[in-house]
Structure 1
């Protein structure tokens, strides 16, 4: 390790979130150092659900096809009570953004794919066995002290520091940023298995049984995750005993056909940091928020963080955009992360009740609901509606009915072949122009237009339903959120004025 060094961005933590951020910055050509305390990527599966929005981010860095080749794409999750009666379902197969709403994956495989992806970028350096000792920031940058496994110390000077270093974040501790929320009282036994007996259904099932809440999910390669809630008076060590696990498996499969390669007891938190940034230092992933697993959104919320942050860092460091754009990161991601935590808690409330009377009341509600055909499926669909129609409530966009919405990604025909729409777009800002439309000269001459330097593409017919009756153009951010409608007349300048003002007010 050299004594001194510099980089535009230092990322602390090489889990899936940090590795994704490094790929995003690498593609932008940003000088990046990624440090990780551990000697390599994780050897065991932790997160198991990767959603369509995250896969769209991986598409942006050219890894979606590699990753999807090792996924189980899409599934239906069902929720059953203690008698095995279906309460409701959530269909996670639709592809509004180019990929199934939810997919099961293997975390060690994904991390290795992300790590190998970094070899494409000369601007990215990865340092395992490296600890963040301390950091200090001032107006011009951040000074960081690092120490490797050979006890060699290095000082690194960077423009920005991003903590992707998990729930016990050293970066968050250094900022003295508090986490707000609850540590859930329930603890869960989690096992990962290869099961040659139970090879298909259920793909994903939540057992909402007050006698013992549980869940299972089929994973790539015929592997299966099981989770059971510990009851009052039960202890971690005893629940990890082979015979206890065998008895838990017995009602569902043939334990003699199950190879258990990982077993652990976890507790879950529903917490969000009071803020996601301070000056030149940012928090992302579990360093910023921790969510219970019931919505499969913990990792995915972290990927949303770094997709949001990466293009803003590149815009400031490479393109000369005002640093005030970085203040929109906290504005756009903090409350959105809180909403995801709240969704997971709501789903957990359906799964976890061990009070017999509370469970009976819940069962009675669904019994009445399901007298109407399809009502249980609609209930489940409504619960995961935020995954179908992703919108920002706050942030840098014009609130015109389109601004802040995540652009759908249809399959479109190009050069005689079907492909996902983003493949025809570049990495930066884009204007989608209705067929036959043109951008007024006054719009092209606007100062913000010159700064954004958007590519102009024709709006495909497959997005006409999204546009409705509007005949305006759409201005897209690099993360595929709509920035604003642009009228094809002189009033577009007023829209660009509003966006300019929005950046200055973000401070």
Structure 2
């Protein structure tokens, strides 16, 4: 392994005398699930030396997540894997709630694409994980090792010694500046840290079954609110269908493996249960838990290691991806010397409250689906049908306006003062991603222009001209991109393209009108976007430099710190348009 190298100091070598070797990296990630793999891609994009270890010999292939939202697709767009991942999705998947007789009670069919992608997408997690693994292997600074179990760790003043057991029981210690546990609901990292995992686990169990040659073929998802046996039926890509059934207390593991019993459960839902082509089946329970903190010193937990939630809104997977995206750029900023370690405090401050809100939402939806008391189920049906008769209430449900979108009230953000607050606050929220027109006439999504790092963006103003020398240098040292958004009519108004390039400015035209509409709703015309596309701060044009100084404090930027390189993906296009890693 060429890029993970042995550089132990004398005291480190003495502390691991019985170990074969000591290797040195910036970040060790435990767990090669979607969260660990996404984080590895994020760090690889930023040139961070990363070791991802997984106890298993290969990626997990048993049934897991099936719902992906627009935020996750935007995250995969950032690491240039969205096209590969979308091959394993069904976009705009409708979720229909039906009662025991098949009557429609409610429907979730959000058609917004404010972040550039469909809000609801069915997907197959093992195939998506495989694409993320391929993506991580594009980077010369990232290594993935299967068959390596973490046995323990010891935090030092400037790092963490991570003890691993490799194939055949060979011991290895990795000296890492930071450790991230993305090792699932039974997280060894969380347990060794002694973090509380507060919440509860439901007593009821569910059987999940994946079938080939989808016997129904419907592209959508059905939540069967049937008091005799609540169930779920979901159409997935590549001709796969998932069923989930609530198990009764007396239905043990023998029942789970009995084909005859499975056929009886399937009989009301498919024409010929005996011909069902079973891929796999697995029993599981629903847990609703959140770790007491997501960061303790140089060690962090993410994904299921940090929070567990029922499957009803498909937010376990998506919440984990949010963790990875939030944490990745902060680690990169600190490790490149652009910010102090205090920036990492905002990972817990920002992510834990929202994860808890998603757990609460999942619990509430579960209570709608799973009543087995017929009187209670009947009352629920009446309430849902009543809501459907009220246009405003129906729209609220159908467009999923009940979903708590991430909003960071504190952390690596600067909110306007009380006097400057307005009816459409934007700070701490995701920025939109419409299509834009570039100077050469292309019409990509916004993130394709502004890139995967910090962006200083102004409406109808050159942001460079709004900043004083100190503020301009702050953003340049951080590797930010400067972008001016204009009405299409003024796209080519100012000077030749060469002059704009020399100034380090990107100009985009708002051919959809969505950017203007966004700025219409608020007084601020100058915004700073974080790498995770959240608005870090917003201000009037003349307040751009003052906002920069406030943000430098909130982001814990190091005055006169190192120049932070802008992330660049190590891929090239061959003559036939195939992307290949740059060696």
Q: Secondary structure at the match of 2:241?
A: strand
Q: Which residue of 2 aligns with 1:413?
A: 437
Structure 1 residues 20 and 107, CA, compared in 2 at 3 Å: closer, same or farther? same
Residue pairs, 1:75-114, within 5 angstroms: 75-114=93-132
Measured in 2, the distance between the counterparts of 1:438 and 1:450 equals 12
Deviations 1:105-127 (A, max 9, x none): 22221121111112211101111
**Does structure 1 conserve the Cα–Cα contact (< 8 Å) formed by 2:63 and 2:282?**
no
Measured in 2, the distance between the counterparts of 1:169 and 1:305 equals 15
Residue pairs, 1:458-473, within 5 angstroms: 458-459=484-485, 460-461=509-510, 462-468=514-520, 469-470=522-523, 472-473=525-526
Q: Secondary structure at the match of 2:551?
A: helix
Q: Which residue of 2 aligns with 1:227?
A: 244
In structure 2, runs of 5+ residues without a counterpart are: 2-19, 417-424, 486-508, 558-583
Largest Rg, 1 or 2:
2
1:430 to 436, 442, 455: 455
Deviations 1:429-456 (A, max 9, x none): 1111112444456544137445534211
Deviations 1:19-38 (A, max 9, x none): 11111101100000110000
Q: Which residue of 1 aligns with 2:478?
A: 452
Structure 1 residues 221 and 342, CA, compared in 2 at 3 Å: closer, same or farther? same
Matched, 1:126 2:144: yes
| Cα RMSD after superposing both structures | 2.0
2:415 to 385, 393, 399: 399
- Cα displacement (A) at 1:374: 7.0
Q: How many residue pairs were aligned?
A: 501
Q: Secondary structure at the match of 2:88?
A: coil
Measured in 2, the distance between the counterparts of 1:396 and 1:9 equals 21
Q: Secondary structure at the match of 1:393?
A: coil
Q: Which residue of 1 aligns with 2:551?
A: 499
1:7 to 25, 29, 40: 25
Measured in 1, the distance between the counterparts of 2:99 and 2:452 equals 47
- Cα displacement (A) at 1:185: 1.8
1:353 to 357, 371, 382: 371
Q: Which residue of 2 aligns with 1:248?
A: 265
**Does structure 2 conserve the Cα–Cα contact (< 8 Å) formed by 1:163 and 1:169?**
yes
**Does structure 2 conserve the Cα–Cα contact (< 8 Å) formed by 1:22 and 1:34?**
yes
Query: Normalization by structure 1: what TM-score?
Result: 0.94
Structure 1 residues 444 and 426, CA, compared in 2 at 3 Å: closer, same or farther? farther
In structure 1, runs of 5+ residues without a counterpart are: none
Measured in 2, the distance between the counterparts of 1:323 and 1:56 equals 27
Matched, 1:486 2:539: yes
Q: Which residue of 2 aligns with 1:46?
A: 64
Measured in 1, the distance between the counterparts of 2:256 and 2:467 equals 69
Residue pairs, 1:260-275, within 5 angstroms: 260-275=278-293
- Cα displacement (A) at 1:155: 1.2
Query: Normalization by structure 2: what TM-score?
Result: 0.82
- Cα displacement (A) at 1:373: 4.9
Residue pairs, 1:310-329, within 5 angstroms: 310-329=328-347
